[in-house]
Amino acid sequence: MKNTNTQVGIAAMISQTATTLKQVNDLIARESNMERRNMAKQEYKSLNAKFTVLKAQYDALRESKLEHERSFKRQQIVQTGFKNPNERSHHSYDNHSKEASVLDMGRERVDDFIQMGQNALDTLKVQRSTFKSFERRALDAAQRLGVSDSVMKVIKGRTAGDRLIFRVSCLIVVVLLLWILYKRLF
């Protein structure tokens, strides 16, 4: 798996480098100063030649690796020979153990995700209690400073209104996302 990821990463870098070289060539063509353009063209040709050589080496190594893997698989097939189909194979046990290990890894990942979710929920609960205590302290400080009860009621009403707007907005977004999902699936 790691080799596949590395190969994909290298292939992506090669593609990105080729795109960058094309962009550099386009920029060179737009340069108005002829001396700078000629110097840039020489540098571009040098870089492009190096890139071509490196890409060819990478392709050769990849082909060599693929050929080695094919050869190894052929050797395994030849060495194992033909077996009686009624005979239980050691490979089936290996396949079952591999499947079990993959399932175990999946369970562990799900457990990790559940734990992360619980940690996030706990953090949100702590933040909620912190904000509640901050709100109480701010209201107490406002009352000590002489803010009237009518202003305090307006503040509390505004807070309740903001919460209602937020909840309705969340509901609209969820309904909209479900509608988009429904349209894409059906």
Residue 160 in domain: yes
pLDDT one-digit tens code per residue, 100-151: 888 888 888 898 889 998 988 889 899 988 888 888 888 778 777 877 778 8
Residue 33 in domain: yes
Instruction: Please state, in angstroms and as integers, the Cα–Cα distance from residue 84 to each residue in 76, 93, 121, following that order.
Output: 17, 16, 57
Write the CB contacts of 128 (distance below 8 Å, at least 6 apart in sequence).
Answer: none
* Greater model confidence, 75 or 167: 167
Biggest CA pair distance of the chain: 94
Range of the domain at 22: 1-81
pLDDT at 9 over 80: no
In this prediction, residue 4 has a pLDDT band, given cuts at 50, 70 and 90, of low
Q: Which residue, of 81, 105, 126, is where some domain finishes?
A: 81
Q: Based on the domain organization, do 77 and 1 belong to the same domain?
A: yes
pLDDT at 93 over 70: no
Average pLDDT, the chain: 80
Considering Cα of 69, then 75, then 78, then 81, what sign does the dihedral take?
negative
CB 28 within 8 A of CB 44: yes
Give the number of domains in the chain.
2
In this prediction, residue 168 has a pLDDT band, given cuts at 50, 70 and 90, of very high
Residue 64 in domain: yes
pLDDT at 62 over 70: yes
Instruction: Please state, in angstroms and as integers, the Cα–Cα distance from residue 162 to each residue in 30, 44, 139, 166, 168, following that order.
Output: 55, 59, 17, 6, 10
> Can you give the pLDDT at residue 164?
93
